[in-house]
Amino acid sequence: MTEAINFGAGPAMLPTAVLQTIQQELLNYQQSGLSILEINHRSALFQTIFTELNVLLRELLDIPSDYVILWLGAPARLQFSMIPLNFLDDVSRGAYVVSGIWSKLALEEAAKLKQAYVLASSEENQFNQVPHIDNKCIKPHTAYLYLTPNETINGNRLTQIPQVDLPIIADMTSCLLTEPLKVNQFDFIFAGVQKNIANAGLTLVLARHSFLKKSVYNMLPTYLSYQTHEQAHSLYGTPPTFNCYVALKMLQWLKAHGGVAAVYQHNQIKAKLLYDYIDASNFYYCKVLPKYRSQVNVCFGLPSHELEQTFVLMAEKKGLYGLKGHRFVGGIRASIYNAMPLSSVKKLLDFMQTFAQLKGHKQ
């Protein structure tokens, strides 16, 4: 059987070692006689998992003590609604940096519910860069600045945190734990776990406690209030227990591999390998300006849509899956998150070289 390598943007690859551990523990967790899929969320077994998960996350990201960790049983996209509902009233407004499709969708959702505006956008440049932020454009009564440091669909990356006198909210779904981070530069961070943390179906929130207290708590449906989840310690509703267990295994794997700083160096090597080849090629191209290129979502194109379709089909025959670009933008996308080994990236590179030669293009 040909080895299958998942280059998909999410649900993304999980390390083989983690999958093997899950397999071993699936039927009888900790000699309890129960599957990890069955244990009660208020049992001592699960509380041990949950406690260790939070302790390890704080260690890996050096999360300050005044930050709350929430694990929410919902897609990250729900935060597009929850954020304006929690932090905007009838007077205040949210400022959005539109650097790609996901930040644009977040803005559109916020504008349905409250007052939200574009502070800066690179859409006119097809999101080939991250827009410059001019503090003079910040409007009165702005309650927060919203940004997406890594745009999964467009393959761009924020290289510098804006210096603004506002609380900063960040969607880090595709970049959290892939590079060093100063959590205290942000007031609210959220991330869907299906890229680097666990299997799909769980959202992680890191929030400054003082910022959460600004939530319009009494005006919201109970489940949609962040204060509800803080007060219930993420157990207001039954959490996705299996996802939390997988998250713990992933964080243990990350720590064993040197932590965030070590995988960041590894991610840089993987990304450079692909971008250097693409830039030297007369067959492949990358629209994103070099300064702003994502290190975990390498987006590139071929001379025609037909060639891109053929590329994806032939790649799958070689065991390279998930390379089709997002339906909104097309092209090719190789997601090379923490779990992706360098050897797999080299296999993709070999295929890219072979495919170009097959189509009569000298490299």
Active site (catalytic) residues: 102, 171, 195
Backbone angles phi, psi at 78, to 5 degrees: -65, -25
Q: Round to the nearest angstrom and report the end-to-end CA distance of the chain.
A: 31
What are the Cα distances from residue 140, in Å, to 7, 144, 163, 258, 306? 43, 11, 17, 44, 49
Tokens, residue 335:
């997601």
Strand stretches in 22-163, DSSP E: 67-72, 93-98, 115-121, 142-147, 150-151, 156-157
What is the rounded CA–CA span in Å between residue 204 and residue 201?
10
What is the rounded CA–CA span in Å between residue 12 and residue 19?
13
What is the rounded CA–CA span in Å between residue 258 and residue 103?
31
Closest CA to 15 of 344, 271, 253: 253
Coil/strand/helix, residue 78: helix
Q: How many Cβ atoms from other residues are within 10 Å of residue 188's Cβ?
A: 24
Partner residues linked to 95 by β-bridges: 117, 145
Contacts of residue 165, Cβ cutoff 8 Å, sequence gap at least 6? 135
